[in-house]
Amino acid sequence: MGTGGRQWISPPGNMYSTFGVPPHPNASASAGASFVLPSHIISVLPLVCGLACREAVLHILKKHMTEAGVAATPAWSATSVDSLVRTKWPNDLIYNHKKLGGTLIQNYELSLSPKEGEAPVSTGRQYLLLGIGVNIANFPTVTDAGREATALNQIVDELNTKHKSDIKYISRDTFIETLWDFLFAFLTDETKTNVAYVVSAFEKVMDTSLVLHRRVSREVPAEGGEGTKTVFDRDPTELYAVKLNAWGHLIVRMPDGTKETLMADYLY
């Protein structure tokens, strides 16, 4: 299930993962786990996921480029790759203005059925499910309301063409292992698990050159003529990211030059 309840199908080769993170000590203890997500970081968790994804992408790309000898060429510049791999508020991963990946976060309470046919009983174990998807081998040709997509191995192809090199493709398994390392390291680093650090780090790598549009919804008659269904459209008003406020909300510039703070809007 995708954003807005949309159904989607993807060919094999991309990474779709769900990390279950306990947000409360009682849930962690009952599950026998030692890690508990710091409560003060929950509000900026989407930003954390975006940062971890970016670090994983850069780490693997640079590693593969070094192995291919690209890092030793005069045309190589680590900053050029860094400048193209950016974030889009609140969690999307962007490469050269194209969407590379994103995150959905949901609350989940584990329930079990004592016996077959009986109603599920809550275990009291609560988790935040971090659903992270990154295009590795392929990408959708249908745009997300106008924004094109790309994939990691498409980027590798572009780099090979540019540098006349033989950078190897990135595998799904390699990426998910690397992402987990960066995500877990971030969430267990006391110097990083504070709102001020996360907001500052995200703002530094956020692509402020993107033209953004709000997602708006409307009701239309359902198929068969019974009831209605919700469809999503792109608001034509062009917005530009300016910065984040202290809580990680996005401040955007409107066409007339005024600024507005967004807290829970979905942006194309």
For residues 237-246, give the mean pLDDT: 96
CB 27 within 8 A of CB 127: yes
- For residue 144, pLDDT over 90 is answered with no
Mean residue pLDDT of the chain comes to: 87
CA dihedral 29, 31, 37, 39 (to 10 degrees): -60
- Whether 181 maps to a domain, the answer reads yes
152: pLDDT strictly greater than 90:
yes
90 cis-preceded (ω within 30 degrees of 0): yes
Which CATH number covers residue 194? 3.30.930.10
**Other CB atoms closer than 10 Å to residue 257's CB: what's the count?**
6
Give the Cβ contact number of residue 129 at 10 Å. Answer: 13
- Give a yes or no: residue 203 inside a domain: yes
Cα separation, 174 vs 171, whole angstroms:
5
Q: Please name the residue ranges forming H helices in the chain.
A: 25-30, 45-67, 78-84, 152-163, 172-187, 195-205
Mean pLDDT for 7-32 is 74
Q: What is the pLDDT of residue 219?
A: 83
Judge whether 262 lies within some domain.
Answer: no
Q: Is the pLDDT of residue 233 over 90?
A: no
Asked whether residue 256 is domain-assigned, the answer is: no
How far, in Å, CA of 170 to CA of 167, rounded?
A: 9
Quote the percentage of the chain above a pLDDT of 70: 88
- Please say if the pLDDT value at position 1 is more than 60: no
Determine how many CB atoms are found less than 10 A away from the CB of residue 50. Answer: 28
Q: How far is CA 67 from CA 171, 217, 253, in A?
A: 15, 48, 42
174 or 5: whose pLDDT is higher?
174
User: What is the structure's pLDDT at 231?
Assistant: 79
Does residue 139 form part of some domain?
yes
Range of the domain at 91: 3-207
Helix 45-67, helix 195-205: angle, nearest 10: 50
Question: Residue 106: what pLDDT?
Answer: 92
Confidence at residue 210, expressed as pLDDT on a 0 to 100 scale: 93
Residue 6: pLDDT above 70? Answer: no
Q: How confident is the model at residue 33 (pLDDT cuts 50, 70, 90)?
A: low
Query: Does 56 have pLDDT greater than 80?
Result: yes
Q: What's the pLDDT at 28?
A: 45
Element spanning 98, H or E = strand 98-112
Residue 15 pairs with which residues in a beta bridge?
Answer: 134
Q: Let me know if residue 235 belongs to a domain.
A: no
Within a domain: 266:
no
Q: What is the pLDDT of residue 3?
A: 56
* Closest listed residue to residue 50, CA positions, set 252, 186, 159: 186
The pLDDT value given to residue 75: 67
Domain count, the chain: 1
pTM for the model: 0.86
Instruction: Give pLDDT tens digits for 75-125.
Output: 666 668 899 999 999 999 999 999 999 999 999 888 777 677 777 777 778
For position 264, what pLDDT does the model report? 76
Q: Is the pLDDT of residue 178 over 90?
A: yes
Q: Determine, yes or no, domain membership for 141.
A: yes
Taking residues 209-232, what's their average pLDDT?
Answer: 83
The span from the CA of 2 to the CA of 7, in Å, is: 6
Q: What is the pLDDT of residue 143?
A: 61
Give the per-residue pLDDT at 37.
Answer: 84
Mean pLDDT of 12-35: 74
